[in-house]
Structure 1
């Protein structure tokens, strides 16, 4: 069997491997193919000649997620469960507090090793550490999301893309390799569960149903189709169209990457060598891994305390500057500001679960301009992003908001009211970039 690179694997406790089955606690990487964590778990199970199972813990109140995100995730997971079943690997869907559920499952099945995937978010890191302390078997964390594993790439928070890029490019050839296949598991699980039906699970979940599902097809097959379609039809124009919200110039891959239905490494392998792919690969590899680095090494990634010192000082100096407009969280959510462009971007997110990348920056910066403080702006931007975006609660989202409001990974710009030295964006600047009236008209037709 293929051995997963040791740099991807972090041992979370000092316990020894037991003799029982191997359990893969799937969390961030919700797919069968192209999954280093699942490959590592299977390698351990085959070497020890034991069964392998996948467990997924469904936490019903996860960071304010709504029906929109849960339904997309569960429909994708049902596909993953079917693919696993064909390989003699069961998927158990557990409901409740993740730490207690995992500890109970491991104990009940006398598991020998627990493998899980890497996620830099505080809540997930906390769960993994707690589980590793509770269990008396070895717990391995495998970075199945980043091409160059986050902990191996850098051991500290990087200042920006300019400091991360040379480190990453030096290591890229070593890690940007193709994936071996998951094989049909030779040691069957004695009592596999019945496949779960996503509709019935969704029906039982106590989640906020006021944010509706969207029509985007979920799952690994849909992710692969979207990737191939983008490479064939969109990648050639990505450099010129990606910053124009009037064009369908973006990849549309972020929900699939967020839910782990597509490996970023698979997308990079597909795009590498294609003419004019540089800008896409910069976003997919450098910027995305920079976001993981920020959230991994800065525990205040979603707070003003996480901003660089120059930005905090500058925002403080302008804390009492008069605001020409000041909106409540409810007004922001309803999209009833004085700015038709901002309102249109907010409506697009509420209706479709996505917002164009260029407008995400403008949207967040205006929340700063029209809020009583940077602290208020962070709360509003994160709450709206995580409630409506299909790819909410993601390191990319938190880092993008921290860049927009707090200058993270940016430099100091010219001083101005409210913003201080934080980079400013204006409606007039947007009008120079793209046809604002045409964009607003398109959103009004949704």
Structure 2
């Protein structure tokens, strides 16, 4: 029996197997351990007695990412490269257009097979499909990011968490098990390779440097593991009581490492179950980690308009259209939103948490997005502003969770119609009074005040 469940593996072309080295084209899951795609690539290489190499293609630009995101990613990749070197697996970072760079490497090194990881975002799908078509070798995608593989659990866009949850629960026992180890690879890569120099790459990379790197959190698998252990020891037991209070620091804070694939969601789930199985807090946390996160991947996989108005359900498009020309009490420009210059101290505080800390509490992110809808001239403008701000400043931006969360807040995705009101129509509404019933708004404003 192979280590990797065949239901995780999705062939991207029908080419016959070939001799030669095996390449793992790392993209979304940027870690050496607990990585099903890398494990499958090693399986294939061991079967063929072939070398194994890991490639990462660094695109010239990526969905508005800035120095903040590139720095976190590259410093994490340097740690991953060191761990791989200890396993006799070289790591190469190739700069330039990803498909061309990959195919040139495959041809130059007479590679026999390429394995890559799963990502539902459009740009990544275009890269994978183009490479599978042009590289001339067998090409496999392996879902290392979802505990239950996204393509397997459902072949359609799910209406909401309540429709995906039972499907996941039926399959969870099949997939939620310990990872086999990555072993030192016995078949050496014949070409010398150099350690990854993240600072050198950052110094030479053309990008938006106006959004600075953060001193905290630290990138990499080691820091991710430390944060996971800290959360399980000190935060998990009270998670259900504290998670919706932005003043309590009751969330796991694992999202940057999960987004960059420096930590496997399956590892988080295994450690949670091992430590506090069956408690209300652990069940609430696992629902967020598994159901809500995998629902976002489902949305982006099966709705290619996930970041456009057309991706909203028909009832939401209808009600937003009917209220398109309603009078807005306040209207702000993109620059005013960006600089936290609205009339609302709570919204401004939430935006400053994004600007200065690279993150925003999940409950406030809903309020933040809904107010952008309320204070923008059109739903299209509001959606573009919210996505740009989230992707530009948040460490976990450019992620299915972000796109699904904004679509829920502004477009009723994974939600239902509510009572009708100006501007929002039947989209769920949030206001300051509702927030004050949930947490100490004034304390939060003081924390992130100017």
Q: What is the TM-score of this pair, normalised by structure 1?
A: 0.99
| SS, match of residue 238 in structure 2 | helix
- The one of 354, 359, 364 equivalent to 2:359 is 354
Superposed CA deviations along residues 290-346 of structure 1, whole A, max 9, x for unmatched, are 000000000000011000100000100000100000111111001100000000100
Name the structure 2 match of 1:89.
89
Give, in angstroms, the shift of residue 373 of structure 1. Answer: 1.0
How far apart are the structure 2 equivalents of 1:371 and 1:444?
A: 24
Contact 1:18 1:137 in 2 (8 A): yes
Distance 2:441 2:163 in 1: 35
Q: How does 1:174-253 map to 2 (within 5 A)?
A: 174-215=174-215, 216-253=217-254
Note if contact 1:66-1:207 (Cα within 8 Å) is conserved in structure 2.
yes
Choose from 293, 299, 311 the match for 2:298. Answer: 293
C-alpha distance in structure 2 between counterparts of 1:192 and 1:444, whole Å: 52
Deviation (angstroms), 1:432 = 1.1
Runs of 4+ in 1 over 4 A off after TM superposition: none
Q: CA separation in 1, counterparts of 2:374 and 2:284?
A: 30
Q: CA deviation at 1:444?
A: 2.1
Looking at structure 2, the residues matched to 90 and 58 of structure 1 have their Cα atoms a distance apart, in angstroms, of 17
SS of residue in 2 equivalent to 1:214? coil
Q: Distance in 1 between matches of 2:273 and 2:87?
A: 30
Distance 2:420 2:205 in 1: 49
CA distance in 2, matches of 1:389, 1:90: 31
Give yes or no for contact 2:3–2:180 (8 Å, CA) kept in 1. no
Q: Matches of residues 241-280 of structure 1 in structure 2 within 5 Å?
A: 241-272=242-273, 274=276, 275=279, 276-280=281-285
Other structure's SS at 1:227 match: helix
* Counterpart contact for 1:16–1:136, Cα < 8 Å: no
CA distance, structure 2, for counterparts of residue 266 and residue 338 of structure 1: 43
1:427 aligned residue (432, 438, 445): 432
The question of whether the paired residues in 2 share the 8 Å contact of 1:245 and 1:358 is answered with yes
| Structure 2 gap segments, 5+ residues each | none
SS at match of 1:88: coil
1:358 Cα deviation (Å)? Answer: 0.5
Cα distance in 2 for partners of 1:3, 1:211 equals: 42
> What residue is the counterpart of 2:418 in the other structure?
413
SS at match of 2:94: strand
Determine the structure 2 residue equivalent to 1:374.
379
Q: SS at 1:17's partner residue?
A: coil
CA displacement, residues 128-180 of structure 1 (integer Å, 9 cap, x when unaligned): 00001102210000000000000100000000001101111000000001000
Range with greater deviation from structure 2 (269-278 or 74-83): 269-278
- C-alpha separation in 2, matches of 1:415 and 1:270: 44
CA shift digits 1:187-211 (9 cap, x unpaired): 0101131102111111011011110
Map of 1:283 onto structure 2: 288
8 Å Cα contact 2:28/2:261 also seen in 1: yes
Q: Deviations over 1:344-388 (max 9, x none)?
A: 100110001001111000000000000011111100000000000
Give the match for residue 336 of structure 2. 331
Task: State the distance in 1 between where 2:344 and 2:447 align.
Answer: 16
Q: For each residue in 1:245-271, what CA deviation from the matched residue of structure 2 results, as whole angstroms up to 9, or x when unmatched?
A: 111101010000000000000000111
Q: 1:246·1:434 contact (CA, 8 Å) conserved in 2? A: yes
Structure 1 residue 26 corresponds to structure 2 residue 17: no
- Unaligned stretches of 5+ residues in structure 1: none
> Residue 448 of structure 2: SS of its match in structure 1?
helix
- 8 Å contact from structure 1 (residues 311, 406) kept in 2: yes
Alpha-carbon distance between aligned partners in 2 of 1:50 and 1:120, rounded to the nearest angstrom: 30
Number of the residue aligned with 2:313:
308
CA–CA distance in 2 between the matches of 1:427 and 1:197?
47
Match of 1:41 in 2: 41
Within 5 Å, give how 1:158-173 maps onto structure 2. 158-173=158-173
Could you tell me how far apart the structure 2 residues matched to 1:235 and 1:3 are? 30
Distance 1:196 1:244 in 2: 40
CA distance in 2, matches of 1:221, 1:148: 25
Output the CA distance in 2 between the equivalents of 1:10 and 1:278.
30
Q: CA deviation at 1:3?
A: 2.7
Aligned to 1:54: 54
What is the RMSD of the two structures over their aligned residues, measured on CA atoms?
Answer: 0.8
Offset of 1:2 from its aligned partner?
Answer: 4.2
Q: How many residues are paired up? A: 445
